């Protein structure tokens, strides 16, 4: 299926974020990509093109304060970036080709963490989380760069429950389908954090957990990137494309 692409601007509190719409030529589900801390939409674009070709409207975009060397990195907060994601979601939902009852969110690391919270604020049917990071609820409005890394490492290394964490509480309340992707050699998001997320999805319709063997947090090696792409595209195909039989979204 052919796709079209168009550059867009996402307005957030009088600021403009760069984004790119990729869309097929018929009314279909939507997929929002949310990159990790310090990243950009660049790595998401290739995967989005492939998924758009399957028959989805995809939106990738740049979170505020993530450009290398940007002074904004020192001041941007989780609240700021959550607002970015909400604004991007709302723009995606307004796209005329989209079935607004069938929206997927694909988040990575910090973006995955914030994407879980998005599900409490906007309708999300499918949720893909790659190496989702985890943060304490405290100091929500403190600039992200000022959070204590040593404390976060300790926090992520022990079990955390939905009763004590906003993101995990969002997971516990999520009733859609979930893909959880772990990197085997992740120095930032340990296995304990992945298991806290996995245990939190108490009410999900389905939960798929995959481990990318030999991969680090950033998927440094090309083989790891390709493995993740294969996992994600396969899952999206099952959830969004394969489930269109009878115009029904979901899995049996």
pLDDT score of 133: 98
Question: For every one of its 252 residues, what pLDDT tens digit does the chain have, with 9 covering 90 and above?
Answer: 456 788 999 999 989 999 999 876 567 899 999 998 878 888 899 899 999 988 899 999 999 987 666 778 789 999 999 999 999 999 999 999 899 999 999 999 999 999 999 999 999 999 999 999 999 999 999 999 999 999 999 999 999 999 999 999 999 999 999 999 999 999 999 999 999 999 999 999 999 999 999 999 999 999 999 999 999 999 999 997 665 544 444 443
For 150, list phi and psi in degrees, rounded to 5: -65, -40
- What is the C-alpha to C-alpha distance for residues 64 and 78, in angstroms, rounded to an integer? 10
Q: Which residues have a Cβ under 8 Å from the Cβ of 230 and sit 6 or more positions away?
A: none
Residue 13, φ and ψ in degrees, nearest 5: 50, 50
* pLDDT at 59 (0 to 100): 97
What is the predicted pLDDT for the residue at 24? Answer: 63
> Domain 4-247 has what CATH class?
alpha beta
CB 107 within 8 A of CB 114: yes
Q: Which of 115, 135, 123 is nearest to 180 (CA)?
A: 115
Q: What is the C-alpha to C-alpha distance for residues 114 and 86, in angstroms, rounded to an integer?
A: 10
Question: Looking at residue 25, what is its pLDDT?
Answer: 58
- Burial label for 154, CB within 10 Å (0-12, 13-18, 19+), is exposed
Dist CA 130 CA 127 (whole Å): 10
Q: What is the pLDDT of residue 249?
A: 45
Using alpha carbons, list the distances in angstroms from residue 19 to 5, 9, 67.
10, 6, 14
What is the distance between the alpha carbons of residues 204 and 40, in angstroms, rounded to a whole number?
29
pLDDT of residue 243: 56
Q: At what angle do helices 78-93 and 110-118 cross, to 10 degrees?
A: 60
């Amino acid at each position: 299926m052919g796709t079209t692409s168009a550059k867009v601007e996402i307005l957030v509190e009088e600021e403009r974020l760069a984004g790119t719409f990729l869309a097929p030529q018929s009314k279909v589900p939507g997929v929002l990509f949310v990159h990790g801390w310090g990243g950009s939409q660049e790595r998401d674009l290739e995967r989005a093109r492939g998924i758009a070709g399957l028959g989805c409207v995809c939106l990738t975009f740049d979170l505020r304060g993530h450009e290398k060397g940007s002074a904004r990195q020192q001041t941007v907060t989780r609240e700021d970036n959550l607002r970015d994601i909400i604004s991007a979601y709302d723009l995606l939902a307004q796209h005329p080709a989209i079935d607004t009852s069938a929206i997927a969110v694909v988040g990575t690391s910090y973006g995955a963490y914030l994407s879980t919270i998005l599900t409490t604020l906007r309708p999300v049917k499918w949720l893909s989380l790659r190496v989702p990071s985890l943060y304490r609820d405290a100091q929500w409005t403190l600039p992200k760069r000022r959070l204590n890394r040593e404390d976060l490492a300790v926090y992520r290394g022990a079990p955390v429950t939905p009763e004590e964490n906003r993101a995990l509480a969002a997971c516990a309340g999520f009733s859609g389908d979930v893909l959880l992707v772990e990197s085997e050699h992740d120095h930032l998001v340990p296995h304990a954090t992945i298991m806290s997320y996995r245990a939190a999805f108490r009410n999900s319709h389905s939960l798929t957990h995959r481990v990318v063997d030999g991969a680090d947090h950033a998927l440094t090696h090309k083989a790891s990137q390709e493995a993740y792409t294969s996992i994600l595209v396969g899952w999206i195909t099952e959830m969004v494309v394969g489930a269109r039989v009878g115009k029904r979204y979901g899995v049996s």
